[in-house]
Amino acid sequence: MKRTVLLCAGLLFGLCGCRSSAAHGIQPTEPAKQLDLSNLETAYVQECIEAFLFDGDALPSETPMGTSLEWSVEQGHAALEQNVLHKTEGALEYEPLVLSVAYGENQLTFDSLQLLDEPVAYVISYFTSEGTDNEQLKLAYTFNGEYWFKVHEDKGILKPSIGTKRLRDPALVRKENGTFSLLATQGYDTDSIYVYDSDDLATYKNERMILLNVSSKELPMSGKQAWAPEAFYDPYLKTYVIFWSSPEDGGIFYSTSDDLITASYPRKLNDPGYPVIDITMVHSTHGWTAILKDEREPMEDYSQVIRGNGLTWASIDSFSEPIYQRHQVEGPMILKSMESEAWYVVVDDYTRSAYKMLKTADIESGAFQELEDTDLMIPLEQPSHANAIRVTWKELERLNQAFGQ
């Protein structure tokens, strides 16, 4: 979430009374669902795969503790070959899938999965802070991470009609049925986020708010900020996990939602011992890896991104020193290469209105190399705070056809 807004803009926003009742979601009634972390190996297994798997995905073969994982397909047109998942004849584009895994004397069944076609690209959501179509949803896509292509000629494709009407930090998430929702920050000082639904990534409907920054008996909150939301569907907990930032409240929080219409009361997600915001997380070799922004002051010294590791998304507790220190950056995005074992981290170099790209062979512990701007093709005008989601060829075709590309 960009912190370099002009003071006058912030004052105008506060004076204009934009935090009307229309800018709020529905009051939570339930606590957030949470993982039982008393047995970390079991928690790892519960969180070791995504709800949406792709043809060619490799399933983990053992836990970080060395226990073998034996997978089997219980339902669905799919087969496993040396732990690699493939569609079989008769599979649907979104094939319902049930997997079971045995580890030691234990067995766990995942019955809320879908198997998709092979992934071919990432669709990237972003926005711009300035210009005629500022604070609107924009999209791009990339096949290899380093060369990007514009969607709709880098023009805005979605502008809010409710709330503050300021769409920032857009992030796409797959819904339980395989379609998509878009989450976005609603300005700077708001307790709710925007949410939209989409069948094709090109058109968005069901505009609404979800209230996130709200106090419970267990956790007092400011009610002022819900920044940089991202989400995923958890196949074990059978709920969406929404993680978001509030500098006013000292860090990163998460809420759970069964329908992306209402959300739970928030819980603190992790704490490296100083303020952090803008977290993004992925499955990695030994659990989960996060990239997040150091929010300490002065920003000139601390606006860097760090890496965190954990066995689950709820137990990221090992944090690094800054992985990049040339410029002030925020809004990280992680891409796993579809052509090699490389990983990319894209950061928003917000003082220069451009992206910087870092590359590593090991997202969990490897060193990062900054790629030169001349080695990249990112033909976007002053982009801010990106997020990426894997898509299939059919999904990418539908998106491009919608804009005549």
Cα–Cα distance for residue pair 291/274, rounded to 1 Å: 15
Residue 280 has pLDDT above 90, yes or no: yes
- Mean pLDDT, the chain, whole residue set: 93
pLDDT at 23: 65
Q: Which tens digit of pLDDT belongs to each residue from 6-53? A: 333 333 333 333 343 346 899 999 999 999 999 999 999 999 999 999
What mean pLDDT do residues 382-390 have?
Answer: 97
Q: Which two tokens stand for residue 290?
A: 């996060």
At 212, the amino acid letter reads: L
Confidence at residue 1, expressed as pLDDT on a 0 to 100 scale:
53
Which pLDDT tens digit goes with each residue over 183-195? 999 999 999 999 9
Query: For residues 256 and 325, what is the distance between their CA atoms, to the nearest angstrom?
Result: 34
Q: What is the pLDDT of residue 18?
A: 39
pLDDT tens by residue, 207-236: 999 999 999 999 999 999 999 999 999 999
Q: Could you tell me if 334 and 291 are in contact, meaning their C-beta atoms sit under 8 angstroms apart?
A: yes
Choice among 6-20, 129-143, 246-260, 302-316 with the minimum mean pLDDT = 6-20
pTM above 0.85, yes or no: yes
pLDDT tier at 288, thresholds 50, 70, 90? very high
Task: Give mean pLDDT, residues 312-322.
Answer: 96
User: Is the per-residue pLDDT at 390 higher than 80?
Assistant: yes
What would the 3-class secondary structure string for 286-304 be? CEEEEEEEECCCCHHHHCC
Residues 6+ apart with CB under 8 A from 76: 91, 95, 96, 97, 98, 113, 115
pLDDT over 50 at 313, yes or no: yes
Q: How far is CA 92 from the centre of its chain?
A: 26
Give the chain's domains with CATH numbers.
Answer: 56-116 (no CATH), 119-402 (2.115.10.20)
pLDDT 10s digits, 129-163: 988 899 999 999 999 999 999 999 999 999 999 99
Kindly state the average pLDDT of the residues 254-260: 98
Calpha distance 54→291 (Å, rounded): 24
Q: What is the mean pLDDT of residues 108-135?
A: 96
State the pLDDT at residue 15.
32
Lowest pLDDT segment from 64-68, 98-102, 330-334, 350-354: 350-354
Mean of pLDDT values over 240-263:
97
Phi, psi of 178 (to 5 degrees): 100, -15
